[in-house]
Structure formats: structure tokens, C-alpha cells
């Protein structure tokens, strides 16, 4: 009964490749997020979607393109991967009844 | 904008009490969160304060002063498993607003 699930958990790829990370939540939440946690453990917001609409884009390079086919899914596609993209990417969701964000287990992306 | 400050590292002894402070500056405030994150895992929700005062939940308590832009997380009867990072986070006014995290406080518990 995973509330927020993201796949894959680990992703190792070469520079220049294109990759996607998928996220799904079964909590009925309206808002979904992508966060990036770098090696210094700083958790930084990248995008936020509310009811499939993009509401926050924190000056993320346009190589990163989120897509929300419905309010239960928020996928992240990354083009032309760079070494600096190596990090753990967390998907999260929140709803009106529960103000806190619930996080997926994270995807550790390593670009070599 | 939003800015959150908390100490980078703290150490405490098993069985003791520790207080982790957080100061924040936000344009439009709608709540202060504390999360716990063990190494290699996702952050998990601990507490939420939207009004001034103390919220107690078992061994953990969280305090908020909106006028001072200040919060703390109090952990009592520390256990070794409490060794983790503790993240302070704030949310803007709208329910769809982003949740901004501080850099986290890495707490180490010694026997």
C-alpha cells in the first residue's frame, strides 16, 4: 500500500543520455512535487503541480521537463544528462486535508 | 522569498533531551513542518505548527512563534535510532504553495 511510489530507485547512466523517473501517488492529493537532494543533503524544490497544472518552476534548466498526465502522476524527464545532475530525486504529494508532504522513496541518479 | 536557517550538526547523549532550533523568513506563511530523514531514506513527517505554541507528540514536541519567525523541535528520552537529519520546512500562504526546506540538522546520538 505504498502512498507515493517512484521508479526506478537507482539509475546509473552516461553523460548525454535522456532518462525518465516516474511517480505515482494513491492518496488523492491535488499537489505533487519534485525535489532534488544533492550530496550536501540540501533538499531543494524543483517543480510543483496542482491538479495537473504547473504552478512552481524553480529556475530549473529546461533539460528537465515534468509531465503530469493526471493528478495522481508526475513524471520527470531529463535530457542530455550532466555530471552535476547526480543526486537523489524525491517525488512528494500533499493535499488540502493534510498539509504535510508525503515523500516517495527517492531515485538515486548517478551520471558517469 | 523564503529563507530557513538551522544548525548543521548537533550531538547528544542517549536518554537526554535535545532542542533543534529553526528560524525562518517567508513572504506569506502557512505553517512550519519538521521532518526526520535517516541516511539513504526519504524524509518522514514529524510535526506541523500553524499557530503559536507547543505541539506535543510522544517523545517529540515542536514549538512555533510566528512573531519571531522561530521554531524548535524538542526530542526527549533520546534513543540511538533518533540519529538522523531533522529538516525544518515552511509553506507559503496558498495550500498549493511550495514547501521550502532548510538544509537540515544532522543529529548524532552517543551512548
Instruction: Return per-residue pLDDT of chain A as tens, 112 residues.
Output: 669 999 999 999 999 999 999 999 999 999 999 999 998 888 999 999 988 888 888 878 999 999 999 999 999 999 999 999 999 999 999 988 778 899 999 999 999 9
Instruction: State the average pLDDT over residues B38-54.
Output: 95
Q: Which pLDDT score is estimated for A40?
A: 80
Q: Tens digit of pLDDT for each residue in A25-52?
A: 999 999 999 999 998 888 999 999 988 8
HSE at residue B17, side-chain half, CA atoms within 13 A, is 8
The chain-wide mean pLDDT, for chain B, equals: 92
Instruction: Name the residue facing B48 among A45, A50, A100 (closest C-beta).
Output: A100
Percent of chain B past pLDDT 70, that is, above it, reads: 94
- Tell whether the model's pLDDT for residue B96 goes beyond 80: no
CB contact under 8 A, A45 and B31: no
> What's phi and psi for A83, nearest 5 deg?
-55, -40
First-to-last C-alpha distance (Å) of chain B? 41
- Could you read off the pLDDT of B2-12 as tens digits, one per residue? 689 999 999 99
B41 touches chain A (CB under 8 A): yes
CA nearest A76: which of A94, A89, A59, A85? Answer: A89
Interatomic CA distance for residues B33 and B27, integer angstroms: 16
Task: Please give the pLDDT value at position B98.
Answer: 78
**CB of B7 within 8 Å of any CB in chain A?**
no
CB contact under 8 Å between B104 and A41, yes or no, is: yes
Look at A31-40, B52-61, B93-102 and tell me which has the smallest mean pLDDT.
B93-102
Instruction: Report pLDDT for A95.
Output: 87
- pLDDT for res B94: 62
For residue B14, the distance in angstroms to the closest alpha carbon of chain A comes to 24
pLDDT score of A106: 97
User: Per the structure block, which three cell numbers stand in for A36?
Assistant: 532534488
Interface check for B77 against chain A (CB to CB < 8 A): the answer is no
CA nearest neighbour of A42 among B81, B5, B28, B30: B5
C-alpha grid cell, residue A12 = 546509473
Q: Which residues are within 8 A (CB) of A68 and not within 5 positions of it... i.e. 6 or more apart?
A: A32, A49, A52, A53, A54, A74, A75
Amino acid at each position: 500500500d505504498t502512498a507515493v511510489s517512484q521508479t526506478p530507485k537507482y539509475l546509473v547512466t552516461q553523460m548525454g543520455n535522456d532518462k525518465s523517473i516516474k511517480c505515482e501517488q494513491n492518496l488523492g492529493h491535488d499537489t505533487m512535487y519534485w525535489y532534488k537532494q544533492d550530496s550536501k543533503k540540501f533538499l531543494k524544490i524543483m517543480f510543483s503541480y496542482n491538479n495537473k497544472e504547473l504552478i512552481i518552476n524553480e529556475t530549473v534548466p529546461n533539460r528537465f521537463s515534468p509531465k503530469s498526465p493526471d493528478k495522481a502522476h508526475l513524471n520527470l524527464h531529463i535530457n542530455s544528462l550532466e555530471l552535476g545532475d547526480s543526486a537523489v530525486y524525491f517525488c512528494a504529494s500533499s493535499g488540502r486535508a493534510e498539509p504535510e508532504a508525503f515523500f516517495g522513496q527517492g531515485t538515486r541518479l548517478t551520471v558517469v | 522569498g523564503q529563507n530557513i536557517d538551522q544548525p548543521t550538526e548537533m550531538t547528544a547523549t542517549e536518554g537526554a533531551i535535545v532542542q533543534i532550533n529553526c528560524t525562518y523568513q517567508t513572504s506569506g506563511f502557512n505553517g512550519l513542518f519538521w521532518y526526520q530523514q535517516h541516511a539513504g531514506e526519504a524524509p518522514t513527517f514529524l510535526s506541523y505548527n500553524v499557530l503559536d505554541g507547543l505541539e506535543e507528540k510522544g517523545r517529540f514536541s515542536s514549538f512555533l512563534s510566528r512573531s519571531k519567525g522561530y521554531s524548535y523541535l524538542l526530542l526527549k528520552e533520546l534513543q540511538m535510532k533518533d540519529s538522523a537529519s531533522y529538516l525544518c520546512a515552511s509553506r507559503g500562504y496558498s495550500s498549493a504553495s511550495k514547501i521550502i526546506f532548510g538544509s537540515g540538522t544532522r543529529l548524532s546520538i552517543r551512548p
